[in-house]
Structures are given as C-alpha cells and as structure tokens.
Amino acid sequence: MNKIALITGASSGIGEACAELFANEHYDLILTGRRLDRLENLAKKLNTKYDIDVVVSSFDIRNRDEVLSSLEGLPSKWKKVDVLINNAGLSQGLDPIQNGSLDDWDTMIDTNIKGLLYVSKVVSNWMISNKFGHIINIGSIAGKEVYQNGNVYCATKHAVDALNKAMRIDLLPHGIKVTAIHPGAVETEFSEVRFKGDKERAKKVYDGFEPLVAVDIAETIWFAVSRPAHVNINELIVMPTAQAAASIIFRE
Ligand code: NDP
Ligand code: 8X3
C-alpha cells in the first residue's frame, strides 16, 4: 500500500511541486485548495503519469466548518495520512502598519494561522490514532525576520514558527515528527497574489537575481521526510544564493 500525503494549497506553486514530487515517490495524495478545476487537472495528470490514487478536497481553509466537514468526510482509507504539508498561505499588500488594509490583515491571519490550525487539529488527531505521521509547516524567512511593510505577513509567519515548535512539543509523546521549512524568495504566484494581480509589480520582485523555484522547496521537504525514523529535521531556512536576508538581495 502506498503512503499518503495531504498537501494544502496544491493548486499552485510550492504545493503543486510537492504533489508532483510525492507522486514520483509513489505516495497517494489528498490535494486541497479553492480552485477545483486546477486541483482536478493536477489529480488527473498525476494519476495517469505515476499510477497513484489522488483525491481532491476543495475548501476555503479560512472556513472552519468547510475544513472540518471536507476532511472528516473523506473515506477512512484517506485518514491514514503519513505526511501533512501545511503549505496554503498568502501575503496581501505591502504597506506601512498605519496604512494597512483591515481586510488584508484578516485574510492573512485567517489563512496563514487559523487555516493551518484547523487542518492541523483534524490531521494530528488522525496521526495520533494511527501512531505515525510527519507534519511539515511551510513558514518563511518572514517568520524569522521582519522587513519594512511586511508587518502582518511577518507576524503570521512568526506564528507559524511558534506553532511548529509548539506542535513538536505537544505531539512528542505520540511519535509524530514536526518540521518547518522557511523559504526566502520563491518565484510562484505569491507576489502576484500579494500585489492583487499586478503582474508587472510582481515580476519586479525577481528582477536581476535568480530566485528559488517551487521544486527547490519540494526537494527540501522530501529531504526532511525521507530521513530515518529516529531523525527529525526541526527546521530549515532555504534561500536563493543571491539573498542574504529578507531584504538583502544582490541584483545584477
Ligand atoms: P502560491 O500563491 O503559488 O500558492 C498558494 C497556495 O495557497 C495556492 O494553492 C492557493 O490555492 C492556496 N491558498 C491560498 N489561500 C487559500 C485559502 N483561503 N483556502 C485554501 N487554499 C488557499 O504561493 P506559494 O506556492 O509561493 O506559497 C505557498 C506557501 O509558501 C505559502 O504559505 C507562502 O506564504 C509560503 N512562502 C512562499 C514564499 C515565496 O517567495 N513564494 C517564500 C516563503 C514562504 P487556491 O488559490 O486555489 O485556494
Ligand atoms: C515570502 C518571502 O520575503 O516575500 O514569504 O516575505 S518574503
């Protein structure tokens, strides 16, 4: 029987790259996100290419009832999750605190912190019953440093950093591994979402240097997941070579 990975935010970027990499490693997959068409296309592609089982569970991670009913409604076979990748997340806006949009703040806090918690509560209980599991939390360099105008996004990723440590302590007696991966700049839809569809502004974020790509992070996650049973990677910070710190990038 194949192992099972549940990936949140699998419709794009890092989550999509994880889906392909774990499929290649013969995992069956639970793919989640809001954009059902993308998830279904990805599921079809991975099922055909890698001969694995894929189930799509589409929900808005901010909606507590949707998260609980979608996950608890999965057939029992799918509750034997070996790896949970808490990846769904986003940044909205880049403004000084005094000008920040309350809606943007709510969106980031509800998605990056509360959504991650809703999924983690359900799946960690499955893992406790199963007596195995590995939770990967996707943090950010923004959870390790604070940069100008990053205020609330940085706060949400600092919360992920704290929750990663807290989960490891609480789940320790159950033998569940907990790992955070903290990326620097990765070229995905992230900046387009941050700048609300302004493609020109988003593109400028990656001008003049070579950013990470989603598969770099998927490979790092796989490294953590593929360690022997007695080894846990607590956290890794993964940066583009041209990025020394959140706001220090060497551009040609
Ligand atoms: P993308 O924008 O490409 O992917 C974000 C994913 O999150 C999408 O699949 C999206 O799915 C999902 N998502 C967002 N909001 C919701 C929601 N309300 N409900 C369900 N799913 C949601 O960005 P990345 O791949 O770059 O981001 C993945 C993670 O990596 C995020 O947590 C981000 O903060 C983190 N990160 C990214 C970095 C970067 O530079 N790109 C650097 C450091 C960390 P859908 O829209 O279909 O719902
Ligand atoms: C995404 C990286 O530097 O834009 O988490 O915050 S950054």
Amino acid 115: pLDDT: 99
Amino acid 206: pLDDT: 98
DSSP string, 48-68: HHH---EEEEE--TT-HHHHH
Closest ligand, as measured to the CA of 38: 1
Separation CA 235–CA 161 (nearest Å): 9
Cβ(140) to ligand 1 under 6 A? yes
Amino acid 177: pLDDT: 98
The answer to whether 148 and 99 have CB atoms below 8 angstroms apart is no
Catalytic: which of 50, 118, 153, 206? 153
Amino acid 139: pLDDT: 98
Closest CA relative to residue 184, chosen from 110, 250, 237: 237
Domain boundaries 4-249, CATH class: alpha beta
Angle value at C-alpha 120, between 155 and 163, nearest 5 degrees: 35
Cβ(151) to ligand 2 under 6 A? no
Amino acid 146: pLDDT: 98
List the chain domain ranges: 4-249
Cβ(34) to ligand 1 under 6 A? yes
Amino acid 166: pLDDT: 98
Its sign, for the CA torsion 114, 238, 204, 149, is positive
The reply to whether 118 belongs to the active site is no
- Render each residue's pLDDT in the chain as its tens digit; 252 residues: 999 999 999 999 999 999 999 999 999 999 999 999 999 999 999 999 999 999 999 999 999 999 999 999 999 999 999 999 999 999 999 999 999 999 999 999 999 999 999 999 999 999 999 999 999 999 999 999 999 999 999 999 999 999 999 999 999 999 999 999 999 999 999 999 999 999 999 999 999 999 999 999 999 999 999 999 999 999 999 999 999 999 999 999
Find the 246 Cα to ligand 2 centroid distance in Å.
7
Amino acid 150: pLDDT: 98
